[in-house]
Amino acid sequence: MSDVRLLAHHEVESFHHNGFLSLPAITTADELAWLREVYDRLFDERVGWDDGAQFDLGGDESDDKLRIPQLISPSKYVPELLDTEFHRNAASIARQVFGDDLADDGSEFSDHMIFKAPHSDAETPWHQDQAYHDPSQFFRNINFWMPLDDASLDNGCMQFVPQSHTWDVLEHRPIGGDARVHGLEVVDGQRFHERSVACPIPAGGATMHAAYMLHYTGPNRTDQPRRAYILVFRAVTTEREEPIDAPWQQARETAGDKRREARAGQT
């Protein structure tokens, strides 16, 4: 087993200062090969579809062609995903950054996968993850975004606006203003392109970002898939002084939510 990775002191400082950080490696080549097999099966078989755990992040599912397939909690379907170098390294780094503030009630960890097919014109517009979360709570998360393929500007690597993690939540809406779409976007987000920093990283590397960080990924203009596996580690949340006014959360009415509710109604 390889050594558990920790950050150098200057990397921790850079993460706190800028709100994001690129890591050249967070797993092994062997593990990557295994993860690609698992990943492809989960999307080929649409695992979690009937539960509403798999859905289209970027479209309305009005036809069979999904724009940005996403699977929430793949480790519930493949528990071996909890026993990886990626998980151990991310957990160690999260503990290093948060110390005793790391939650320990089961809410400290979640995972998801986001797929961009070859020649996908779907961008993931500018957004802050906190826009998805409970508006009454202040979240301190670290998202470890690991591509299973070399991530570049051509296939949709992560892009960030440095230090935007110190801002409050901007006005969001469902992508394209369409309430049937799960994904959220900042209103007039195009203005952030000129201030963005792109983070191309090799397969098996990772970017880390904070819960309020503005981020974006572009379309996949290559012949190869852009497969991303994301682990989220969370510090204990605290009550916000003012809840976020988040009408975009009520506005959404997605097919995936309906599948989830129908499944919950069966139990």
Nearest distance in Å: CB 127, Ni ion: 6
Residues 184-243, interacting with Ni ion (CB under 5 A): none
Q: Residue 123 or residue 129: which is nearer to Ni ion going by CB?
A: 129
Q: Residue 85 or residue 112: which is nearer to Ni ion going by CB?
A: 112
Q: Are 19 and 158 in contact (CB under 8 A)?
A: no
Question: How many chain residues are in contact with Ni ion, going by CB under 5 A?
Answer: 1
Q: Residue 172 or residue 260: which is nearer to Ni ion going by CB?
A: 172
The stretch near Ni ion (CB under 5 A) out of 32-40, 111-119, 125-133, 186-194 is 125-133
Q: Which amino acid is at 251?
A: A
Q: Residue 148 or residue 213: which is nearer to Ni ion going by CB?
A: 213
Residue 129 in the binding site for Ni ion (CB under 5 A): yes
222-250 in b/e burial notation, b at 16+ Cβ within 10 A? beebbbbbbbbbbbbbeebeeebebebee
Q: Could you give the CA distance from residue 152 to residue 122 in angstroms, rounded to a whole number?
A: 15
Nearest distance in Å: CB 262, Ni ion: 26
Nearest distance in Å: CB 215, Ni ion: 6
Q: Residue 27 or residue 130: which is nearer to Ni ion going by CB?
A: 130
Q: Residue 33 or residue 153: which is nearer to Ni ion going by CB?
A: 153
Q: Are 217 and 144 in contact (CB under 8 A)?
A: no
Closest residue (Cβ) to Ni ion?
A: 129
The stretch near Ni ion (CB under 5 A) out of 38-46, 124-132, 152-160, 230-238 is 124-132
Nearest distance in Å: CB 143, Ni ion: 7
Nearest distance in Å: CB 216, Ni ion: 9
Nearest CA among 132, 134, 114 for reference residue 124: 114
Q: Which amino acid is at 238?
A: T
Tell me the CA distances in angstroms from 210 to 21, 30, 53, one per residue in order: 10, 29, 23
Q: Could you give the CA distance from residue 190 to residue 213 in angstroms, rounded to a whole number?
A: 16
Displacement of CA 195 from its chain's centroid (Å): 21
Residues in the chain: 267
Nearest distance in Å: CB 100, Ni ion: 27
Nearest CA among 38, 33, 146 for reference residue 87: 146
Q: Residue 129 or residue 149: which is nearer to Ni ion going by CB?
A: 129
Residues 76-105, interacting with Ni ion (CB under 5 A): none
The stretch near Ni ion (CB under 5 A) out of 95-103, 128-136, 184-192, 200-208 is 128-136
List strands edge to edge, sheet with 197-199.
Answer: 124-128, 214-217, 158-160, 197-199
Residues that bind Ni ion (CB under 5 A): 129
